[in-house]
Amino acid sequence: MPVARNSVVLIHYKLTNDAGEVLDQSEKDSPLAYLHGRGNLIPGLERELEGKQSGDKLKVTVAPADGYGEYDKDLLQSVPRSAIQGVAEIEPGMQLQARSDEGVRMLTVVEVDSDSVKLDGNHPLAGKTLHFDVEIEDVRDATKEELSHGHVHGPGGHHHH
Ligand code: ZN
């Protein structure tokens, strides 16, 4: 069956940057499972998978606007070191979780000096062109429960009790 809205799709993928470095990939023997058409994948990738079939292989290049967004300099901020609690050693490259009314946000530590820390609220892949190698392993209908949760259950998906 072709990939369509509310299909459960199992994919193997490899994500590389412009330099060909591997940024992320699915683990061998454990494909990623996602619910199609519900915003669980970045738009540029989801669009290319639409209508494809089990066994199809594709290469997809995704521009920042269709991926994790353009890089936004306004999301850089400096905070007093004392504002970060529960972390013994703060180092550049480290990711911190910030809780707010809008939920949890990931912040990347860019710079640390004696009394302040520079944080970047951009997604680590913001502003980057993404290159995906994708192979579709399986396509099936979602169950009622998966549709109501908006995500896939079982292998490659969410597990809850
Ligand atoms: Zn669920």
The hierarchical CATH code for the domain 7-68+126-149 is 3.10.50.40
Domains 7-68+126-149 and 73-120 alike in fold: no
CA–centroid distance, 69 to ligand 1, in Å, is 27
Residue 29 has pLDDT above 90, yes or no: no
Distance from C-alpha of 121 to C-alpha of 80, rounded to nearest angstrom: 16
Distance from C-alpha of 146 to C-alpha of 7, rounded to nearest angstrom: 10
Residue 34 has pLDDT above 90, yes or no: yes
Residue 70 has pLDDT above 80, yes or no: yes
Q: Please state the rounded mean pLDDT for residues 26-33.
A: 92
pLDDT, position 161: 63
- Kindly report the backbone phi and psi dihedral angles of residue 33, in degrees, each rounded to the nearest multiple of 5, phi listed first: -110, 130
CA–centroid distance, 157 to ligand 1, in Å, is 9
For the chain, give the mean pLDDT. Answer: 93
Question: Which stretch of DSSP H or E encloses residue 49?
Answer: helix 43-49
Distance from C-alpha of 138 to C-alpha of 9, rounded to nearest angstrom: 6
Spell out the CATH class of 73-120.
mainly beta
Q: Where are the domains of the chain?
A: 7-68+126-149, 73-120
Q: Looking at the chain, how many residues does it have? A: 161
Residue 9 burial (C-beta neighbours within 10 Å; 0-12, 13-18, 19+): buried
> Residues 21, 53: contact at Cβ < 8 Å?
no
Residue 123 has pLDDT above 70, yes or no: yes
CA–centroid distance, 140 to ligand 1, in Å, is 17
- Least Cα distance to 42 among 134, 149, 106, 110 occurs for 134
CA–centroid distance, 25 to ligand 1, in Å, is 23
pLDDT band for 126, please (50, 70, 90 cuts). very high
Distance from C-alpha of 96 to C-alpha of 101, rounded to nearest angstrom: 16
